[in-house]
């Protein structure tokens, strides 16, 4: 299985930033932002990009990815050893189309931004996998987020079912922080 961790992710981004000739911005979602910010032991096979908050020349980014051996926005079944950059668009994903972004860094011609951490946590709570809960707890500790911060982000999740799941799973954050559960 392809593994992208902090050093390899920074290396890939540096190579992409050097390979593209025009400035580009990508909004990383998923685990890439946490990996870059130092979440220990976090790895991923992909770099998820939120399309509406990104600005890049598709052909140039695709060429740069292919040049460094990274699949660009693959569709269908993937080789388990493949690392890839995936462009996410509105639809089944839990991010609103637009949101305020936070600057993560610059790698040559490539600028990285990410969603606000409370929104990241809200979407992780909506999905609710074990790894999502671990990631959410890390974000809460890393950014000193309050339950109120996360509750304020939940209404921005587009799907009602996902908003409800996030509200139900907020107790998991309350249990992993010093804030006790208060119904």
What would the pLDDT profile of 18-44 be if each residue is shown by its tens digit? 999 999 999 999 889 999 999 988 888
- Position 115 scores a pLDDT of 97
Residues 6+ away with beta carbon under 8 Å from 178 = none
pLDDT, position 2: 67
CB-CB neighbours of 53 under 10 Å: 21
CB neighbour list of residue 57: distance below 8 Å, 6 or more residues apart: 20, 22, 24
The token duo for 65 is 């990815």
Angstrom distances, CA of residue 115 to CA of 1, 5, 59, 80, 83: 27, 20, 25, 28, 22
Give the pLDDT confidence score for residue 30 in this predicted structure.
82
Poorest-pLDDT segment among 86-90, 165-169, 170-174? 170-174
Q: At what angle do helices 160-176 and 117-127 cross, to 10 degrees?
A: 100
Confidence of residue 163 (pLDDT cuts 50, 70, 90): very high
Quick one: tokens of 168?
């139900």
In this structure, what are the phi and psi dihedrals at residue 31, rounded to the nearest 5 degrees? -85, -15
Beta strands in the chain (DSSP E): 24-29, 46-50, 71-72, 84-88, 102-107, 110-114
Kindly tell me if the per-residue pLDDT of 180 is higher than 50. no
Cα–Cα distance, 172 to 152 (Å, whole number): 16
Q: How confident is the model at residue 181 (pLDDT cuts 50, 70, 90)?
A: very low
- Summarised one tens digit per residue, pLDDT across range 41-68 is 888 888 999 999 999 999 999 999 999 9
Give the relative orientation of helices 6-19 and 58-67 as an angle to the nearest 10 degrees: 120
DSSP state of 38: T
**pLDDT bracket for residue 182 (50, 70, 90):** very low
Q: Report whether pLDDT(117) > 60.
A: yes
Give the pLDDT confidence score for residue 183 in this predicted structure. 40
What would the pLDDT profile of 125-139 be if each residue is shown by its tens digit? 999 999 899 999 999
Residue 177 has a pLDDT of 67
pLDDT band of 1, cuts 50, 70, 90: low
Query: What is the DSSP secondary structure assignment for residue 55, as one 8-state letter?
Result: B
**Residues 17-44, buried b or exposed e (16+ Cβ, 10 A)?**
bebbeeebbbbbbbbbbbbbbebeebeb
| C-alpha to C-alpha distance for 115 and 137, rounded to whole angstroms | 17
């Amino acid at each position: 299985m392809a593994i992208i961790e902090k050093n390899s992710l920074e290396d890939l981004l540096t190579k992409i930033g050097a390979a593209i000739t025009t400035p580009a911005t990508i909004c990383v979602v998923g685990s890439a932002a946490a990996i870059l910010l130092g979440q220990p032991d976090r790895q991923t096979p992909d770099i998820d990009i939120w399309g509406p908050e990104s600005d890049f020349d598709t052909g140039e980014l695709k060429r740069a990815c292919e040049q460094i051996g990274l699949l660009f926005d693959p569709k269908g079944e993937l080789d388990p050893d493949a690392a890839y950059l995936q462009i996410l668009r509105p639809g089944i994903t839990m991010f609103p189309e637009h949101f305020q972004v936070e600057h993560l860094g610059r790698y040559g011609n490539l600028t990285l931004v990410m969603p606000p951490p409370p929104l990241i946590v809200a979407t992780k709570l909506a999905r609710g996998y074990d790894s999502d809960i671990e990631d959410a707890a890390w974000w809460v500790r890393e950014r000193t987020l309050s339950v109120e911060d996360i509750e304020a982000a939940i209404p921005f999740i587009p799907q009602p079912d996902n908003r409800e799941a996030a509200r139900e799973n907020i107790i998991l954050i309350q249990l992993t922080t010093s804030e006790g559960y208060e119904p």
